[in-house]
Amino acid sequence: MAIIGIVAIDRNLAIGKDGKLPWHYSSDMKFFKQTTVGNAVVMGRHTWETLGSPLKDRMNIVLSSRTDGASGKAVTLPNVRSVLNLAGALTRDLYVIGGAKVYQAFLPHLNRWIVTEIPLSVEDADTFMPSNFLEGFELYEVRQLDDELRAKFYERVSEARP
């Protein structure tokens, strides 16, 4: 079982604008689905609310101190430790899918990153990845998703985790 961050970023590390993904690339959506199906995904409440429905064929976990809203459709857990405890009992990988606060909270616990590079600079983007999010990770694979997009795979090089 691995804990993997999966994110799409623009040239300035933007991941969102006005509470939404500021682009749509079908090859990125297809890659995300193929990568995460059959596994567990963890997201914050806002990301959950923007989905409209659970991600099909995945265990949906919502990280939130509020317990209303996701009942029956997702597992709602109040903190990172409770998600990690659940993940430890799983026989599948756990993908951290956002938003920014959730990525930040799981950063010390990630084994790998999958980063899709979006060839844009989104004007007025308001949500970004931290500039050091790949610190301690090493690139081990690059996959071309289509003519414009490529996904980069990183693995943690040091086991120094809290």
If you count them, how many residues does the chain have? 162
Rounded-to-integer distance, Cα 117 and Cα 115, Å: 6
pLDDT number for residue 143: 97
Taking residue 101's Cβ as centre, other Cβ atoms within 10 Å add up to 14
Rounded-to-integer distance, Cα 92 and Cα 105, Å: 21
pLDDT number for residue 71: 63
Q: What is the DSSP string of 21-56?
A: -S---HHHHHHHHHHHTTSEEEEEHHHHHHHSSPPT
CATH 1.10.3720.10 holds for 3-156: no
pLDDT in tens, 3-45: 999 999 999 999 999 988 999 999 999 999 999 999 999 999 9
Q: What is the pLDDT along the chain (162 residues), one digit of tens a residue?
A: 899 999 999 999 999 999 889 999 999 999 999 999 999 999 999 999 988 899 999 999 999 987 665 667 899 999 999 999 999 999 999 999 999 999 999 999 999 999 999 999 999 999 999 999 999 999 999 999 999 999 999 999 965 554
Rounded-to-integer distance, Cα 41 and Cα 74, Å: 10
